[in-house]
């Protein structure tokens, strides 16, 4: 499970960085979203990857899942959705004013 999560985080981060370095607006927005998903997966993985374990400490300290990273990821999802909406509106406004979707305005 750890190898799968590590590979997923690495692939999402690499794809996001590649898209952020593009000179068009839409790939930059997609790159931002992919990096956001990679960070969310990373935060989620920090809370231990355990299947069918309670999120609260009961008897055994080694068999629980920390609920704090799960709450942080839920909050990050809402914030990233709002930021993506703001970036899309700014990109649309930039396209309307300049008639191009280049990020560097050349």
What does R_g of the chain's alpha carbons equal in angstroms? Answer: 18
Q: Cα angle vertex 62, ends 11, 56, to 5°?
A: 90
pLDDT digits (tens, 9 = 90+) for 19-56: 999 888 889 999 999 999 999 999 888 876 666 666 66
pTM: 0.78
Reported as a pLDDT band with limits 50, 70 and 90, residue 5 is confident
């Amino acid at each position: 499970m750890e190898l799968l999560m590590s590979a997923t985080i690495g692939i999402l981060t690499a794809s996001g960085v590649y898209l952020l370095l593009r000179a068009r607006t839409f790939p930059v927005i997609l790159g931002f979203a992919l990096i956001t998903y990679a960070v969310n997966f990373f935060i989620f993985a920090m809370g231990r990857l355990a299947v069918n374990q309670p999120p609260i400490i009961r008897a055994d300290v080694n068999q629980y899942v920390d609920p704090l990273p799960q709450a942080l990821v839920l909050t990050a999802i809402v914030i990233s959705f709002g930021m993506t909406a703001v970036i899309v509106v700014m990109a649309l406004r930039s396209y309307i004013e300049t008639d191009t979707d280049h990020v560097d305005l050349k």
